[in-house]
Amino acid sequence: MASVARSCTRLGSSATAASRSCPTRTTASSTARRVCIRQTFQNSSRRGYASGPSGASSRTPYIVGALALAGIGGGAYYLRNNPSLSQAKEGTSGETRGVFTPTKDDYQKVYNLVASRLEEKDDYDDGSYGPVIVRLAWHCSGTYDKMTNTGGSNGATMRFAPEGDHGANAGLKAARDFLEPVKQQFPWITYSDLWTLAGVCAIQEMQGPVIPWRPGRTDRDVSMCTPDGRLPDGAKEQSHLRAIFGRMGFDDREIVTLSGAHALGRCHTDRSGFEGPWTFSPTVVTNDYYKLLMNEKWSFRKWDGPKQYQDVASKSLMMLPTDMALIKDKEFKKHVERYAEDNDVFFKDFRDVLVKLLELGVPFQSKPEDRMELKPTTAE
């Protein structure tokens, strides 16, 4: 995939030079480059079960007086932590043109940039940053505690060392760094909205269901970091799963549904200690995870690492103890069977449960019916 992308880059090099002198003109070569990159990204994935602005300040005295009364420090803090609520638009000379309230079209532009980077940046596991972006959205949301109403995606506190250094978040710096150019291009969006929107984008661009999403999260400071131990430990079994997910407010069916995200990505020995992918198509959202759990034979892997399972047939796939718990426990297993039999049923439930996960603990000013569905670029 990387070699094809480089070929596409060479194909579009002359178009890039031309576009610098005439930015409003789209050449055939640049169009061909975009098409080539997109086709390469899409063709690398397969669905189905397989066996093998300027900083100028306003000079209006009324505004200065208002800031003085409110306290410059406090005003700056509020705007910095709530940039998605409203933004002052500035003209080319820095004059204030009005208040900027992001619309669906603005969020679609953010989505499209994330999607474009997912197509072009193929230097990560299995040729896609998609799975690790999903993991970032998952982990920043999965710290929610319904008893204390703390944690969750509101805050983006993984930006700070106490939380970013938690063992369960090892490797997620790659995802945060991947999204930083998007934040720089759209500074009005909060990190916490960006991370969750990016997770939605990754799911949809990897051929998953369309996920309704809404903005309204704010960024918080280091004092709001959550304690370690709120995310699942793959080395444990069903009682642990019920304790971790129950703290967030999920039932048995929802636990099994969210586990389906293991259709994506792989484990790394330098992060979790475990190693390998769960499925043969780790950059495509499918119900293969459930099919493999039900249909393959699994045995303990003989190695120096932590306890994990491998498939008997190819010895190239792995399952964690928490994965195997889903078929050992009869209440979990009935949901595994249902999803293994019907991908559409899985997609419907996964969409609904992911919306719930990404909204845990968020004090939205909007209503659930204000959620928006952002258009996948793969549908173009």
As annotated, the active-site residues are 139, 278
In sequence order, which residues have a C-beta less than 8 Å from that of residue 317 and are 6 or more positions away?
276, 277, 278, 279, 280, 292, 296, 310, 311
Tokens linked to 181: 């150019």
Tokens linked to 141: 């949301």
CA distances from 208 to 91, 200, 260 (A): 40, 9, 11
Instruction: Give the CA count within 13 Å in the CB-facing half-sphere of 295.
Output: 13
- In angstroms, rounded to a whole number, what is the distance separating the alpha carbons of residues 357 and 153? 9
Handedness of CA 173, 177, 182, 184 (dihedral sign): positive
Q: Using DSSP, how many helices (H) and how many strands (E) does the chain show? A: 16, 7
Residue identified by tokens 């480059």 is: 33
Contact 161, 75 (CB under 8 A): no
- In angstroms, rounded to a whole number, what is the distance separating the alpha carbons of residues 144 and 152? 4
In sequence order, which residues have a C-beta less than 8 Å from that of residue 329 and are 6 or more positions away?
238
- In angstroms, rounded to a whole number, what is the distance separating the alpha carbons of residues 109 and 338? 37
Residue 87 φ then ψ, to 5°: -135, 140
In sequence order, which residues have a C-beta less than 8 Å from that of residue 251 and are 6 or more positions away?
none
CA distances from 318 to 200, 232, 338 (A): 26, 17, 22
Residue identified by tokens 């996948």 is: 376
- In angstroms, rounded to a whole number, what is the distance separating the alpha carbons of residues 274 and 305? 7
Give me the DSSP letters along 12-57: THHHHHHHHH-TTPPPHHHHHHHHHHHHHHHHT---S-------PP
